[in-house]
Amino acid sequence: MNELKSIESQALQALESVTSIPELDQWKSTHLGKKSSLMGVLKGMKDATPEMRKEMGAEANRIKKGLGASWEKRRQEISEAEVNARLEKEWLDITLPLSHDEQGHLHPITRYSRKIEDIFTKMGFKVLEGPLVEDDWHNFEALNIPPEHPARDMQDTFFMTNGSLLRTHTSSVQIRTMEKIQPPFRGIAPGRVFRNEEVDACHDNTFYQVEGILIDKDISVANMKYFLRTMLREIFEKDVEVRLRHGYFPFVEPGFELDLRCLLCEGKGCPACKHVGWSELMGCGMVHPKVLEACNIDPEVWGGFAFGMGLNRLVMNHYDIDNIRHFVSGDLRFVQQLN
Ligand code: DAH
């Protein structure tokens, strides 16, 4: 009986210094497990008299139950302490002001695109949207690019197995708009486009464009030039010189390439403009009558201009970025430099 008492007090004493769940498991197997002293005593009882056995059995059971209850109590204390310690560590003061160097910012493409949206909305343009997964009609056919037309080779296309395709240009949004809205209207459509191209520092298989379209009565090339020059002046926040060269795009007639007098060398020639003094900025022109007809708009009454500009090139010129693939790389070290 004395031995039982001392086993009990030793076990309770040992329990006091237990501070973690693994230690607690260890304690349980030492003091209540098959090889514990308590079990040893119980096993040794076979030589005792029946009365002693009864008495000791009852005492051993009491101790076993008591130690079990003490173990459970300790387990609860330890779990609670662990939860409290974690809460203490994870506590945050949500009323603290944010440190400035941890603040996020917009991707440069988004920033440029919003800037262009602002400029055009002030001139009465609506911001238009269209799907990235397009059909042949909106991306090609309605834009006066029938099947087998050589212009289809100008833009390598990602086709889906169901006949859909990833839009190769934002010009598809022109068609979606003209199908829905009656003229006069004016809108711009910034967005992502896809081409099945070999990628290198200047070409990626996904990039961003801004499309613009204005349909009204008596619109001329001079009107188009005015709008585009105003936009560029506001984008670059200084006066700019532009020139129009003939360019072929099936959906406009006449079609043009618009060049910007190089902003870096002001026309003297530098690596950025490949030493010609001008840099190609966008395609534009007067909307082709066939495109209007495809959207049930009478070309005898209505006409207008459209343009499509690559956004990546613009941002690359502004920040002197040497590789187009940085834009969608997801590498934060790239975007963080362009705050
Ligand atoms: N969609 C043409 C391209 O991606 C760009 C373009 C040229 C758009 C002339 C136009 C335009 O609206 O009039 O290469």
CB 252 less than 6 A from any atom of ligand 1: yes
Residue ranges for the chain with pLDDT beneath 50: none
- 256 Cβ partners below 8 Å, 6+ apart? 221, 244, 245, 246, 247, 283, 284, 285
pLDDT at 320: 80
Distance, CA of 62 to CA of 235 (rounded, Å):
87
Atom of ligand 1 nearest to the CA of 285: 13
Per-domain boundaries in the chain: 2-90, 108-336
CA torsion sign for 97, 101, 103, 105 is positive
Helix (H/G/I), strand (E/B), else coil: 70: helix
pLDDT at 27: 94
The alpha carbon of 120 and the centre of ligand 1 are apart by a number of angstroms equal to 18
Q: Find the distance separating the first CA and the last CA of the chain, reported in whole Å.
A: 80
Smallest CA separation from ligand 1 atom 4, residue: 169
Q: Which one of 3.30.1600.10, 3.20.20.70, 3.30.930.10, 3.90.230.10 gives the CATH number of domain 108-336?
A: 3.30.930.10
Provide the 8-state DSSP code for 143.
G
- Reported as a single tens digit per residue, the pLDDT across 9-23 is 999 999 999 999 999
- Reported as a single tens digit per residue, the pLDDT across 143-152 is 999 888 887 7
pLDDT at 215: 98
